[in-house]
């Protein structure tokens, strides 16, 4: 399990997160919702180990993230950032193969190529494999980066017993058209079906309702509601958190 226990965290002297408790279990998809500046991306950064917490602890399998050897941690959790800067003229396939770096010495080149090829297909970008990454559109780049993080945690492979993997997605649908938004979140669901834990930051309430097993709603650095989508996405909660009037209907 990937767990945050009573964490405070932030940048500079200011705490953005205050007394946050959240756990992601293998096989479930958890979505973070909230207005801009609520602390969603900060929480995801803390739970990935990219941001050191000031109080409390973030643990993976009851071991603090800081105590994990970096190559082993990289094989167990992967992060898709909102923006991934890469200015080198790599092919899309080469970008995906970068995700196999934590596996250096543990797998063969042929195995890495097989994993990268499978992840390109999962992200629906096989046709871009030989394209130069810097010539791709923003949405195409994001889908290639999705394939890269899938390759990092060996999406197509079978984990050893007790070694659940975690996929952390920070606004993965922001630059995508509606069809590819659905495809990306369907991939997240397939990851959960394979026993991975998924934590995703989204802004689209409808997508969250469709794909999440559990939703945590944030406001001002705190989790103000958490539970199943039908229990959390009520008119009262949405109106109080986002400060606008809504009508919620079940499709």
Query: How long a stretch of residues is the chain?
Result: 251
Cα–Cα–Cα angle for 175, 177, 178, nearest 5°?
A: 125
Token pair of 105 as six digits: 């010495």
* Distance (Å, whole) CA 15 – CA 105: 40
Residue 11: the pLDDT is 87
pLDDT single digits (tens) 122-169? 999 999 999 999 999 999 999 999 999 999 999 877 766 668 999 999
DSSP for residue 17: E
Burial class of residue 25 (count of CB atoms within 10 Å of its CB; 0-12, 13-18, 19+): middle
pTM for the whole structure: 0.92
Q: Which residues of the chain have a pLDDT value below 50?
A: none
Handedness of CA 70, 168, 54, 3 (dihedral sign): negative
Residue 156: the pLDDT is 76
Strand, coil or helix: what is 176?
A: coil
Residue 105: the pLDDT is 84
Residue 160: the pLDDT is 62
Dmax (CA) for the chain in angstroms is: 55
Distances in whole angstroms, Cα of residue 126 to Cα of each of 79, 86, 91, 130, 147? 21, 19, 12, 9, 10
Q: How many CB atoms lie within 10 A of CB 87?
A: 7
């Amino acid at each position: 399990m990937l767990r945050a226990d009573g964490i405070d965290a932030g940048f500079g002297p200011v705490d953005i997160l205050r007394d946050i408790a959240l756990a992601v279990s293998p096989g479930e998809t958890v979505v973070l919702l909230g207005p801009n500046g609520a602390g969603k991306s900060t929480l995801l950064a803390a739970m990935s180990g990219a941001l050191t917490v000031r109080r409390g602890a973030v643990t993976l399998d009851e071991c603090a993230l800081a105590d994990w050897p970096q190559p082993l941690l990289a094989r167990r959790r992967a992060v898709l950032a909102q923006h991934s800067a890469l200015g080198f003229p790599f092919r899309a396939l080469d970008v995906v193969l970068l995700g196999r770096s934590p596996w250096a010495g543990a797998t063969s080149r042929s195995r890495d190529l097989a994993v990268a090829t499978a992840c390109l297909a999962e992200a629906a970008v096989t046709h871009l494999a030989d394209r130069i990454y810097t010539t791709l559109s923003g949405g195409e780049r994001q889908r290639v980066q999705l394939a890269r993080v899938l390759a990092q945690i060996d999406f197509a492979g079978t984990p050893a017993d007790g070694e659940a993997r975690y996929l952390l997605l920070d606004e993965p649908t922001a630059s995508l058209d509606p069809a590819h938004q659905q495809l990306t979140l369907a991939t997240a669901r397939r990851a959960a079906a394979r026993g991975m834990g998924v934590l995703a930051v989204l802004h689209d309430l409808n997508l969250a309702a469709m794909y999440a097993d559990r939703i945590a709603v944030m406001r001002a650095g705190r989790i103000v509601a958490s539970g199943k989508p039908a229990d959390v996405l009520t008119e009262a909660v949405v109106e109080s958190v986002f400060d606008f009037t809504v009508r919620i209907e079940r499709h």
